[in-house]
């Protein structure tokens, strides 16, 4: 965790209420130098019988924290959680049961995304909708099945012995890269809807934009390091934004640009409005006033993040090539 004073106690309360023997699990909290009083809250929290360990993550990035926790844990099963979560009382029991019943290497459950404000609830609805997030089945599927990745997974410890730890060069997407590495080594990842996790979405549109931009950015670096880890859904926003930019740029010089723009935007706007109407019917008419903007912000910021990441990567390659040419010239 890092600066999670709003959420960390809710997460720990849910872990405290597990219907699993207290002496059979431990909770590892890895703090990234929080400055908002998160650690002080932990000192005053009644942990009851929970076996808790608090560790430091001086580098303040997620994969380092994950590796610190995994290496310090003593159990045969490692479950990854974020401070923005709350879990059902049978969370640990269902994870263990699913691993034992299926023989899977990794299991994870259904994410119920919630918001703590009107905009936050709209964002949560977008992040739980296939139009918003593609075929990330851990966000909406109700069928037990093997998938490409899950959120907040439970791993058999031997998985780490076999394929190593989380890639610390990836500040984001380290879980996606790890899932891809596991699949390439013959591992199976099971989605079990009996495992339930509540996740708190960003509470503002700007928070969603920042999060989506960063996710899109890191997709490019994840793809370079581990091409097979990402799915088609991870690149659809980039293709959408690239198409829009290309169409706008060529429109002043060629009428075909306007046609391309219409062919890209019109289907998107139709699906956007249809999904927004459906959500408004199911969750309240007031959501129609914001859902089209939430979907658009999610997709465009994600796509721009990927485009910018691609551009930066391309420029870095050119820079390295020029440096090499200069070195060879000096020789």
- For residue 188, give the CATH number of its domain: 3.90.550.10
CA–CA separation, 171 and 168 (whole Å)? 7
CB 232 within 8 A of CB 219: no
Does residue 146 fall inside a structural domain? yes
Pairing relationship of beta strands 189-200 and 106-114 according to DSSP bridges: parallel
| Structure tokens given for 189 | 């990842």
Total domains present in the chain: 2
pLDDT, position 330: 66
Q: What is the pTM of this model?
A: 0.91
Does residue 221 fall inside a structural domain? no
Q: Which one, of 12, 205, 240, lies nearest residue 117 by Cα? A: 205
CA–CA separation, 237 and 260 (whole Å)? 16
Distance of CA 91 to the CA centre of its chain: 19
pLDDT, position 61: 94
pLDDT tens for 188-236 read: 999 999 999 999 999 999 999 999 999 999 999 999 999 889 999 999 9
Residue found by looking up tokens 């079990």 in the block? 192
Same domain, 13 and 69: yes
Q: Which one, of 209, 222, 241, lies nearest residue 308 by Cα? A: 241
Same domain, 187 and 237: no
pLDDT tens for 157-195 read: 999 999 999 999 999 999 999 999 999 999 999 999 999
pLDDT, position 245: 95
Instruction: Indicate the helix (H) or strand (E) that contains 221.
Output: helix 205-225
Same domain, 22 and 132: yes
Same domain, 14 and 144: yes
Does residue 226 fall inside a structural domain? no
Same domain, 114 and 261: no
Final residue before a domain boundary, out of 203, 219, 244: 203
Does residue 225 fall inside a structural domain? no
Same domain, 289 and 142: no
Low-confidence ranges of the chain (pLDDT < 70): 330-331
Burial class (CB within 10 angstroms; exposed 0-12, middle 13-18, buried 19+) of 266: exposed
| Structure tokens given for 23 | 């002496």
Does residue 213 fall inside a structural domain? no
pLDDT, position 146: 97
Does residue 296 fall inside a structural domain? yes
Same domain, 79 and 118: yes
Instruction: Indicate the helix (H) or strand (E) that contains 200.
Output: strand 189-200
Same domain, 191 and 124: yes
Segments forming the whole domain that contains residue 275: 232-330
CA–CA separation, 153 and 189 (whole Å)? 9
Q: Report helix, strand or coil for 223.
A: helix
Same domain, 115 and 58: yes
Same domain, 171 and 249: no
Residue found by looking up tokens 């930066």 in the block? 312
Does residue 210 fall inside a structural domain? no
Does residue 285 fall inside a structural domain? yes
CA–CA separation, 182 and 159 (whole Å)? 8
Same domain, 184 and 237: no
pLDDT, position 45: 84
Same domain, 240 and 181: no
pLDDT, position 79: 98
């Amino acid at each position: 965790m890092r600066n999670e004073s709003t959420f960390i106690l809710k997460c720990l309360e849910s872990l405290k209420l597990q219907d699993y023997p207290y002496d059979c699990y431990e909770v590892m909290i890895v703090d990234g130098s929080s400055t908002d009083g998160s650690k002080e809250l932990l000192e005053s929290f009644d942990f009851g019988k929970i076996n808790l360990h608090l560790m430091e993550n001086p580098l303040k990035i997620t994969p380092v924290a994950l590796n610190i926790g995994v290496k310090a844990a003593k159990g045969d099963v490692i479950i990854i959680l974020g401070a923005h979560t709350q879990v059902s009382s049978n969370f640990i029991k269902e994870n263990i049961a699913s691993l034992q019943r299926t023989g899977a290497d990794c299991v994870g459950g259904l994410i119920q995304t919630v918001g703590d404000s009107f905009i936050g609830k709209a964002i949560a609805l977008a992040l739980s909708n296939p139009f918003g997030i593609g075929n990330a089945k851990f966000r909406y599927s109700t069928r037990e099945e093997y998938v490409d990745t899950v959120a907040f997974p439970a791993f058999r410890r031997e998985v780490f012995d076999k394929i190593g730890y989380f890639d610390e060069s990836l500040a984001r997407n380290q879980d996606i890269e790890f899932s891809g590495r596991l699949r390439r080594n013959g591992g199976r990842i099971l989605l079990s809807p009996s495992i339930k996790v509540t996740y708190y979405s960003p509470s503002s549109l700007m928070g969603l934009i920042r999060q989506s931009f960063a996710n899109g950015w890191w997709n490019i670096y994840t793809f370079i390091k581990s091409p097979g880890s990402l799915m088609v859904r991870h690149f659809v926003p980039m293709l959408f934004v690239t198409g829009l930019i290309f169409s706008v740029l060529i429109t002043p010089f060629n009428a075909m640009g306007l046609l391309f723009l219409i062919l890209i935007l019109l289907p998107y706007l139709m699906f956007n409005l249809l999904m927004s109407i459906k959500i408004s019917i199911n969750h309240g008419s007031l959501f129609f006033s914001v859902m089209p903007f939430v979907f658009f912000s999610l997709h465009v910021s994600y796509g721009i993040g990927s485009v910018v990441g691609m551009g930066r990567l391309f420029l870095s390659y050119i820079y390295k090539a020029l440096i090499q040419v200069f070195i060879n010239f000096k020789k």
